[in-house]
Structure formats: C-alpha cells, structure tokens
Structure 1
Amino acid sequence: MKITVDISEDDLREIQRHSGEQKKGPAIQKFIAEKLKLARRREISRKFLTGEWSADLPSIEKLRKDRVL
C-alpha cells in the first residue's frame, strides 16, 4: 500500500543512515519493520515479566541426568 507521510529532511536522512538504504521508500519500510519487531519483543517480554506468560522448563539437574554420556 502506498501512503504519503510528512517527515523532516533531517529525520529522513537519519532513517536512511541507520537503515543503510539510499532510497527513501525502502529506508522507511525497514525502519517501520524494525520498530514493529521491537514493539512485539517488548510486549512478549512484558508478558513474561508480569507472569501473564510462563514456561515450565526442567531443572538443570534433570537435563544432566537425561544426557547420554
């Protein structure tokens, strides 16, 4: 989907510099994709830290017993 955004030249240059992209469109796409990825990671981290999500992992002792030497 194509959209029009108003962005300052300074911000656009900074986005291009950080993304490594020369063209505006790909630079903004990369920036948005990274921002969304970080937001998803932050949400997953929050869920684990608050206890909303958890993972039952076996203890290290049990893992070592199961190892075949």
Structure 2
Amino acid sequence: MKVTVELSETEMAEILDITGERKKGPAIRRLMEEALQQRRRAQVAQRFLSGEWGVELETFEADQERERQRAQKFAS
C-alpha cells in the first residue's frame, strides 16, 4: 500500500541518518518496521510484567543449588 506523508527536510534528513538508508522510501519503511517491532516488544514485556504471561521454571532453583554445591566442591 502506498501512503503519502508530509515531512520537513530536517525530519527526512534525520530519518535517513538514523536508518542508514540512502533513499527516502526504504528509510521510511525501515523506520516504520522498527517502530512496530519496538511496540510489539513493549507489549510482550508488559504482559510479563503484569503477570498475564509467565514462565514456569520448575527445576531452576534446584539446578541453581546443585550448581552452587558443585562449585563449592571444586573450590575446596
């Protein structure tokens, strides 16, 4: 889909600089893709922070303790 966007010369120069693209179209496309990706990451992070999503690490603490004990054996 094509979209017309009005930007100042300063904004366009900044977009080209930030994206590293040489052409305007690819620069705006990259900036848009990066913004969407950042928004999606923020939404995922928010779901974890709110407790809506979580991770079950059933053996994590036991594994950590086992590793601590093994390290103490080698240290002594």
Fold equivalence (TM over 0.5): yes
User: How far off is 1:35 after superposition?
Assistant: 0.2
Distance 1:23 1:13 in 2: 10
Q: What is the SS of the residue equivalent to 2:39?
A: helix
**Which residue of the partner structure matches residue 62 of structure 2?**
61
Deviations 1:27-50 (A, max 9, x none): 000000000000000000000001
CA RMSD, aligned part only? 1.6
Provide structure 1 residue ranges, at least 5 long, that are not aligned to the other structure: none
Larger Rg over CA atoms: 2
Query: Number of aligned pairs?
Result: 65
What amino acid is aligned across from residue 43 of structure 2 in structure 1? E
**Which residue of the partner structure matches residue 10 of structure 1?**
10
Distance 2:43 2:51 in 1: 12
User: How far off is 1:61 after superposition?
Assistant: 2.4
Provide structure 2 residue ranges, at least 5 long, that are not aligned to the other structure: 67-76
| Higher RCO by CA contacts (8 Å cutoff, separation 6 or greater) | 1
User: How far off is 1:55 after superposition?
Assistant: 1.0
**Which residue of the partner structure matches residue 20 of structure 1?**
20
Query: What percentage of residue pairs aligned between the two structures are identical?
Result: 40
